[in-house]
Structure 1
Amino acid sequence: MTDPQLYRQLTLLDRDRHAPLRITPVQDWRFVRGLNAVSVTVAEFLDVAREYPIAFVPVEHGADGQPQITPVALLSLRANDNAYVGPDGGWTARYLPAFLRRYPFTYVRNDVDGLSVALDDGWAGYSTTEGERLFDDAGQPSDYLQAMVQLLDRFEEDSVRTRALCARLVQLELLRSGEVKGRLDNGMDVNAAGFFMVDEAKLQALPDEVVLELHRSGALALIHAHLLSMGQVQAVADRLIQRG
C-alpha cells in the first residue's frame, strides 16, 4: 500500500541506475505535513496507541463483495494537516509508524513473482556522496538496503495479520461510525469524520465462546489497544492548540 501524498514518483529499484545513490534517513518531514492519517499494522498497535488515536477507515470492497477496512493512526483532527511535523520538519512523536519508516522504499505488485522493491524518485533526499549506499562495489545490495528489504517484508507479513483482524471485525459487526467535531480552546474548528471504531456495547454483548476465540487469537488485546488509543484524541487536539 502506498499513498500519493507520500510516494509521488515510484520507480522500480534498478541495480545499474541506482548504484551511485546514497540515502540518509528522512529528517525533514515537511513534505507530509498535509498527511492527516497513516496506515498502521497490528504489530504496531501497542506502540501507536501510546501516542496516536487508532481508527479504521474504509477501503475498496473485497473479491467477495464485503466491505474492507484498514487501521490508521490519526495525525490530525483536520483535513490536509499533520500535527506531528514540527516547524523544522522533525517528527515530534517518539514512535514513527513503519509505513513512514520504510520511506522512500516500498513494494509494488508485479506479474512475475508477486512483489518488487520500488523507491520514490520524487524525493529530494538522495545523494552520491553522503549517507548509506544502496549497492556495494560488487553491485550487491548493501547492508542498509538488505535491512530495508527486511522491513518491507515484515510490513507485508504484518499487513496479512492486519487484514485478518479487520475482516473479523466486519464479520462480527463490531464497528460504528466515529467523529470528532467541535471547536478548540483557541477557536480552531476541528472535524475528523469518515472513520470507524469498535462499539464497546457490541463487544460486551458477544457470546462467551467468541470472546474466548478473540482472546486466544490475540485479537481481543488489539481491540483493547485500539479503544485505549482513542484517549489520544485530546493529545492531538493539544498539539493543534500549541501550534496555534
Structure 2
Amino acid sequence: MSGNYEIFSLEKHKKYSVKISEEYSHASHLHMVSIVPSEIAKVALNFPISFIKSKTDSYHMVAILGLQAGSNVFIDDGHFETVYVPQNISKYPFSLAKNAEGDIVIAINSDELNDLGEGVALVAGDGQPSAYMIEKQKQLKHLAEQEVICNQFIETLNELGLLIEQRFKFDLGDGNKQQISGLFSVDRELLNALSDDDLLSLQKNGMLEAIYSHLISLGQFQRLIDKSAKS
C-alpha cells in the first residue's frame, strides 16, 4: 500500500470523518489494477482484462488502464471516463491489511481524515461503526472473499494450460510500432479443445462465464489505443 495507512480502530478514529468524493486522482498513475471474479462482466465492458506474472511466477488478473507505466488514460481531471470503476480503486481510502497477529483488518489512509466533521463520520455516536463504515467493511470483506475465489480461478486456468502470453502490438498513430509483452490471456483454441468433463466443470462453478467475459474484454484494447493516442 502507498500512502500513510493505519489500521482502523473505533477508539482511535471516533472523532474522524472522511470526505466522500467521486474523484479518483489517486489512481491516475495506475496503468493496471487487480480485479476479482464478481466484477469481471462489468470490467469487460470498460477495460481489457489480462493476466500478469509476478516475480514468484504466480498469476494475477488485472484490468489494463494504460499502455505505459504511470499513466491511466481513463482518468481525466480526477474523473473516470467509464461507467464502472474497479473495486480495488473505488474502495479508497480504505484497504485490507494484516495486524500484528496476522489477521486481516481494515486500514485507512490517514491523509484523507479530518477532525472537523467534514464529510461522513467513521464512528457513530454510540461508539459503533457508522453506516458508511459498515458499508465499507462489507465491501472489503467481499473483496477479501473474492480474492480467494480469484486465486482458485487462476489456479484452474493454469492447471488446464489455458494461459498463453499475448504479445500486444499497437500504433498510436505516429507510425511508431510498439509492443507490450508479459500479458497473458486464455487461448480460445486450447479452451475449445478441453474435454467435455473439463468444460462442464468450468460451467458448473461459474468459471466458463468469467472466461468468456475475459475474452470479450480483449476487444477493449482498441479503445485503450484510441484513448492513449489522444492523451
Describe the SS at the equivalent of 1:180: strand
- Could you tell me the TM-score, scaled by structure 2's length? 0.92
**Which residue in 1 is equivalent to 2:156?**
168
Describe the SS at the equivalent of 1:31: helix
Instruction: Give the deviation of 1:134 after TM superposition.
Output: 0.3
Describe the SS at the equivalent of 2:75: coil
| Pairing 1:94–2:89 present | no
| Pairing 1:24–2:29 present | no
8 Å contact from structure 1 (residues 109, 116) kept in 2: yes
| Aligned partner (choices 44, 50, 61) of residue 45 of structure 2 | 50
**Which residue in 2 is equivalent to 1:228?**
216
Instruction: Give the deviation of 1:128 after TM superposition.
Output: 2.3
Which residue identity is paired with 2:124? Answer: D
Which residue identity is paired with 1:38? Answer: V
8 Å contact from structure 2 (residues 53, 60) kept in 1: yes
| Aligned partner (choices 26, 31, 35) of residue 30 of structure 2 | 35
For this pair of structures, how many residues does the alignment match? 231
Instruction: Give me the CA root mean square deviation.
Output: 1.9
The separation in 2 between residues aligned to 1:53 and 1:225, in whole angstroms, is 10
Describe the SS at the equivalent of 2:72: coil
The separation in 2 between residues aligned to 1:111 and 1:146, in whole angstroms, is 23
Q: CA 1:71 to 1:16, structure 2 compared with 1: closer, same or farther past 3 Å?
A: same
| Aligned partner (choices 147, 159, 165) of residue 147 of structure 2 | 159
The separation in 2 between residues aligned to 1:203 and 1:218, in whole angstroms, is 15
8 Å contact from structure 1 (residues 77, 191) kept in 2: no
| Aligned partner (choices 190, 195, 207) of residue 207 of structure 1 | 195
CA deviations on 1:102-151 (whole Å, 9 max, x unpaired) are: 11111212354721111112x44646232111011222110000110000
Instruction: Give the deviation of 1:78 after TM superposition.
Output: 1.6
Describe the SS at the equivalent of 2:59: strand
| Aligned partner (choices 43, 57, 68) of residue 78 of structure 1 | 68
The separation in 1 between residues aligned to 2:189 and 2:218, in whole angstroms, is 16
Describe the SS at the equivalent of 2:79: coil
8 Å contact from structure 2 (residues 47, 65) kept in 1: yes
The separation in 1 between residues aligned to 2:71 and 2:217, in whole angstroms, is 20
